[in-house]
């Protein structure tokens, strides 16, 4: 994971400050639109995004804007706001959720017990037996407790909404139930009082009880959507065993400093990222990378905090601690993705902003229409109540964020980190996947297979020249040459006049000899005669290996060849098969010559390839492929791949690669398995499909239900039940994503 990646990087440029606010009192999509509008009106705010599912707002502001102004704006809009803690206490958060569920459960139970007599009364009225009829004053007493006791939670937000000149779900519920309650009270105390069987208290009490049930179920279900983040948070150990002054001491994990030595016993979780300096063991990284098998660890191997040590005792030198640790950055990435908005959600928010006022107007028109049609005041008001109660925009507000929360959490469990909702939505349309070869389709661990000296040259001398020129090289091929020289116990010389030639090779002076090392293209540029070695080079390339040429630039004479091979990843061929099965075209993009590229592509089943592409031209090649009309994903792991990752519709970085590549990508694979590319696209398609399904039913529900209520086809009780279940059904629908499994 890249050190530089923060939530601010993922949301706004560096000149902006990012605040995350915890918002209190939001109940529907109308609230989201209201809070966003209020925050956007604060001077200095560049962007504000509010998420109903997480009850959070992310606000990017100019550095001179004060957080107090943001909090005040939210309060004026009728809601509460505090600055969200940088790091959530999982135990405390779990405790708060349990308390909220318990409180909502008891409130519902109280309302349900008091509503039972009204349900019995309704049954008696339907059967025309009136067996369960009870006096009007008892009905008034029970209904009042439900209306103003159990239903008290709706009045505060409704009043704040009215003061702010807007509307929300609570206002619709309050208006609807108060209308039914008030109508019954008026019928009781008019000059000719109505009988107990003519009152409508049950409309108010049953509606409130059903909505409370819906909120209770919704809270429980919503808690499940954040399960992935909570699971990751629980990976962080509270304490660490650190060696200080030669003594092992137990300290809070947060206090471990970079460079300190941490002792990890068998079965314990690693408290920090680091490098093994002593011991041999195996590490279970499944909850971080999605890899089910333990990974062997030896001295000098990197380990990740949060993973579980196996049977060996390890001493680990801490390299990344606190917010810089891998687990902390993974959590930040997931939270960022879950808090971000998919493009389609912005349309939903615009609809929600005008939804409540329109519903109130429809309710008023319904009342007037029924009165003009000759119906009594009771029928007119009850039909208007049904309109107010059933038209809740909760489902619209939850349809997208809940699916994104579950989808990104599911991806994280599989070792796939999705930067934001936009990347998630774009990935579903991918028609072409462009793979960089080295380190992506291949292991990224090239080895020297052949040393072919020209006539009169010594193989060891040739290896000595090539390795000396590339001492300290970060290029995989250069490291392979140096490793071969070290294995042969050659004493390397210090290169002078070193010049890197991106995409072609290098020039340097070694032991007084001016040499060039690189591709056939470089040899041609330098006018080096290579005909004598061409047959050997073609043989090397036909076998899928890369031929590295070494030449004396003073005499323009080829000194020899070094054949370097990098085995394809074991899962590369399967990854290609899976992509083709989905109708996605795989393309290989590499700087290697065409002969080598074709050999490697043939082994793993790729027909389309772009070879001999210079690093600076990779982004242009991606742009050309995009011009063909397909949405393009670029998969890479190196610094040279970063521009191409950014140029693609979706950049996918291998987690085994560089920080720069992962920073430029919209999706990061936590382990070097190309099959995860197909998994990422699968999850994106499944999540996007679930979002569309949720929104379809949320819109259809309102399109059908509101006219039905206005026409008198739905009673307030049925309307209340439908409204209560609409938001629950959306959350449950999103949770069904957790049943997704990779198709292997």
Same domain, yes or no: 309 and 356: no
- Answer whether 271's CB lies under 8 Å from 237's CB: yes
* Among 692, 691, 685, CA closest to 428: 685
681 in any annotated domain = no
**What pLDDT score does 607 carry?**
92
1 in any annotated domain = no
CATH of the domain at 456: 3.40.1110.10
- Residue 694 CA to residue 672 CA, distance in Å, equals 34
pLDDT digits (tens, 9 = 90+) for 9-55: 444 444 567 888 888 888 777 788 888 888 988 888 888 888 887 78
Residues whose CB is less than 8 angstroms from the CB of residue 83 and which lie 6 or more positions away in sequence, other chains included: 19, 20, 21, 22, 67, 71
- Residue 655 CA to residue 661 CA, distance in Å, equals 9
- Answer whether 49's CB lies under 8 Å from 340's CB: yes
- Residue 481 CA to residue 449 CA, distance in Å, equals 10
Same domain, yes or no: 556 and 577: no
Q: Which of 53, 71, 86 is the endpoint of a domain?
A: 86
Q: Is the pLDDT of residue 517 over 90?
A: yes
When pLDDT is averaged across residues 152-165 and rounded to a whole number, the result is 82
Same domain, yes or no: 204 and 352: yes
- Residue 708 CA to residue 440 CA, distance in Å, equals 57
**pLDDT confidence tier of residue 730, bands split at 50, 70 and 90:** confident
327 in any annotated domain = no
Tokens (6 digits) for 450:
């052949």
**pLDDT confidence tier of residue 536, bands split at 50, 70 and 90:** very high
pLDDT digits (tens, 9 = 90+) for 122-149: 776 656 666 667 888 988 999 999 999 9
* Among 478, 473, 437, 441, CA closest to 615: 437
Q: Which of 27, 51, 86 is the endpoint of a domain?
A: 86
pLDDT above 70 as % of the chain: 91
* Residue pointed to by tokens 């002054």: 245
Q: Over the chain, what is the mean pLDDT?
A: 83
264 has which bridge partners? 314
- Helix (H) or strand (E) segment spanning residue 403: helix 394-413
| Phi, psi for residue 55 in degrees, rounded to 5 | 55, 45
**What pLDDT score does 5 carry?**
38
Domains of the chain: total: 5
Same domain, yes or no: 556 and 603: no
Kindly list the catalytic residues: 436
Same domain, yes or no: 64 and 101: no
Same domain, yes or no: 439 and 485: no
* Residue pointed to by tokens 């999982």: 90
129 in any annotated domain = yes
198 in any annotated domain = yes
**What pLDDT score does 119 carry?**
80
Residues whose CB is less than 8 angstroms from the CB of residue 732 and which lie 6 or more positions away in sequence, other chains included: 221
32 in any annotated domain = yes
When pLDDT is averaged across residues 434-444 and rounded to a whole number, the result is 86
Q: Is the pLDDT of residue 6 over 70?
A: no
pLDDT digits (tens, 9 = 90+) for 549-608: 999 988 888 999 999 988 888 899 999 999 999 999 999 998 888 888 888 899 899 999
Same domain, yes or no: 42 and 100: no
- Residue 611 CA to residue 422 CA, distance in Å, equals 31
Residue 370 exposure: Cα atoms within 13 Å on the Cβ side = 22
Q: Is the pLDDT of residue 613 over 90?
A: no
Query: Distance of CA 252 to CAs 265, 272, 315, Å?
Result: 16, 11, 17
- Answer whether 617's CB lies under 8 Å from 418's CB: no
- Helix (H) or strand (E) segment spanning residue 29: helix 29-40
**What pLDDT score does 128 carry?**
62
| Residue range of the domain that includes 638 | 416-443+568-670
CATH of the domain at 307: 2.70.150.10
- Residue 17 CA to residue 452 CA, distance in Å, equals 58
pLDDT digits (tens, 9 = 90+) for 62-100: 766 678 889 989 988 888 888 877 666 555 666 777 888
Same domain, yes or no: 194 and 102: yes
Q: Is the pLDDT of residue 502 over 90?
A: no
654 has which bridge partners? 669
| DSSP reduced 3-state for 723 | helix
- Answer whether 635's CB lies under 8 Å from 674's CB: yes
Same domain, yes or no: 483 and 559: yes
* Residue pointed to by tokens 């109903």: 52
Residue that wins the pLDDT comparison between 548 and 419? 548
- Residue 719 CA to residue 385 CA, distance in Å, equals 9
| Phi, psi for residue 38 in degrees, rounded to 5 | -65, -45
Q: Is the pLDDT of residue 329 over 90?
A: no
**What pLDDT score does 371 carry?**
92
399 in any annotated domain = yes
When pLDDT is averaged across residues 453-482 and rounded to a whole number, the result is 86
**What pLDDT score does 104 carry?**
87
Q: Which of 540, 565, 590 is the endpoint of a domain?
A: 565
Same domain, yes or no: 57 and 105: no
**What pLDDT score does 638 carry?**
65
320 has which bridge partners? 273
**What pLDDT score does 436 carry?**
87
First-to-final CA distance of the chain: 27
3-state helix, strand, coil in the chain (%, to 5): 55, 20, 25
Q: Is the pLDDT of residue 442 over 60?
A: yes
Q: Are strands 513-518 and 505-510 parallel, antiparallel or unpaired?
A: antiparallel
Same domain, yes or no: 49 and 76: yes
DSSP H stretches of helix in 543-588: 572-581
**What pLDDT score does 4 carry?**
36
* Among 427, 436, 440, CA closest to 649: 427
334 in any annotated domain = no
Same domain, yes or no: 134 and 220: yes
CATH of the domain at 22: 3.30.70.100
């Amino acid at each position: 994971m890249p050190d530089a990646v923060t939530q601010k990087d993922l949301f706004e440029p560096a000149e902006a400050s990012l605040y995350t606010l915890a918002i209190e009192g939001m109940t529907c999509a109308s609230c989201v639109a209201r809070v966003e509008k209020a925050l956007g009106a604060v001077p200095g705010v560049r962007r504000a995004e509010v998420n109903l599912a997480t009850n959070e707002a992310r606000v990017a502001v100019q550095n001179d804007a004060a957080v107090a102004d943001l909090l005040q704006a939210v309060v004026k809009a009728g809601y509460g706001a505090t600055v969200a803690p940088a790091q959530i206490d999982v135990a405390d958060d779990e405790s708060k959720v349990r308390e909220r569920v318990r409180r909502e459960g008891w409130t519902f139970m109280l309302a349900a017990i008091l509503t039972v007599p009204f349900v019995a009364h309704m049954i008696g009225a339907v059967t025309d037996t009136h067996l369960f009829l009870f006096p009007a004053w008892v009905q008034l007493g029970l209904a009042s407790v439900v209306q103003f006791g159990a239903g008290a939670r709706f009045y505060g937000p409704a009043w704040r909404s009215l003061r702010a000149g807007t509307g929300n779900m609570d206002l619709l519920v309050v208006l609807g139930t108060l209308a039914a309650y008030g109508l019954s009270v008026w019928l009781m105390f008019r000059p000719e009082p109505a009988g107990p069987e003519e009152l409508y208290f049950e409309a108010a009490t049953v509606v409130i009880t059903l909505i409370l049930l819906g909120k209770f179920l919704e809270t429980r279900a919503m808690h499940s959507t954040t399960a992935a983040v909570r699971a990751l948070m629980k990976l962080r150990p509270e304490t660490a065993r650190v060696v200080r002054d030669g003594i092992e001491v137990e300290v809070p994990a947060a206090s471990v400093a970079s460079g300190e030595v941490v002792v990890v016993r068998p079965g314990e979780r690693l408290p920090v990222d680091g490098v093994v300096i002593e011991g041999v063991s195996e590490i279970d990284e499944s909850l971080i990378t999605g890899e089910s098998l333990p990974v062997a660890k030896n001295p000098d191997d990197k380990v990740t905090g949060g993973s579980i040590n196996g049977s060996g005792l390890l001493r680990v030198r801490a390299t990344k601690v606190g917010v810089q640790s891998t687990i902390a950055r993974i959590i930040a990435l997931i939270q960022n993705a879950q808090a971000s908005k998919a493009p389609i959600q912005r349309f939903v928010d615009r609809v929600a902003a005008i939804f409540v006022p329109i519903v109130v107007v429809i309710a008023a028109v319904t009342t007037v229409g029924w009165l003009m049609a000759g119906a009594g005041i009771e029928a007119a008001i009850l039909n208007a109540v049904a309109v107010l109660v059933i038209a809740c925009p909760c489902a619209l507000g939850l349809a997208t964020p809940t699916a994104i929360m579950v989808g990104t959490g599911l991806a994280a469990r599989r070792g796939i980190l999705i930067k934001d909702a936009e990347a998630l939505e774009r990935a579903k349309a991918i028609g072409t996947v462009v793979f960089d070869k080295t380190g992506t389709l291949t292991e990224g661990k090239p080895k020297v297979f052949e040393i072919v000296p020209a006539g009169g040259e010594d193989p060891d001398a040739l290896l000595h020249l090539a390795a000396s020129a590339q001492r300290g090289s970060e290029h995989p091929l250069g490291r392979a040459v140096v490793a071969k020289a070290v294995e042969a116990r050659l004493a390397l010389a210090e290169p002078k006049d070193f010049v890197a030639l991106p995409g072609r090779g290098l020039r340097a002076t070694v032991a007084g000899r001016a040499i060039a090392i690189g591709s056939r293209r470089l040899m041609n540029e330098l006018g080096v005669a290579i005909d004598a070695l061409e047959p050997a080079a073609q043989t090397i390339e036909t076998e899928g290996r890369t031929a590295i040429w070494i030449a004396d630039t003073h005499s323009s004479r080829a000194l020899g060849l070094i054949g370097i091979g990098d085995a394809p990843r074991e899962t590369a061929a399967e990854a290609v098969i899976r992509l083709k099965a989905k109708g996605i075209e795989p393309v290989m993009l590499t700087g290697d010559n065409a002969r080598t590229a074709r050999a490697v592509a043939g082994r793993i089943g790729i027909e389309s390839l772009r070879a001999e592409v210079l690093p600076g031209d990779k982004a242009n090649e991606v742009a050309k492929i995009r011009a063909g009309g397909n949405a393009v994903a670029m998969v890479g792991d190196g610094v040279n791949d970063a521009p191409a990752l950014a140029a693609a519709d979706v950049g996918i970085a291998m987690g085994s690669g560089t920080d720069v590549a992962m920073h430029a990508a919209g999706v990061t694979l936590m382990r070097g398995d190309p099959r995860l590319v197909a998994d990422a696209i699968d999850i994106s398609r499944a999540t996007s499909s679930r979002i569309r399904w949720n929104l379809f039913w949320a819109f259809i529900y309102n399109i059908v239900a509101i006219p039905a209520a206005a026409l008198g086809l739905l009673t307030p009780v049925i309307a209340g039940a439908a409204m209560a279940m609409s938001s629950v059904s959306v959350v449950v629908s999103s949770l069904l994503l957790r049943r997704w499994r990779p198709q292997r």
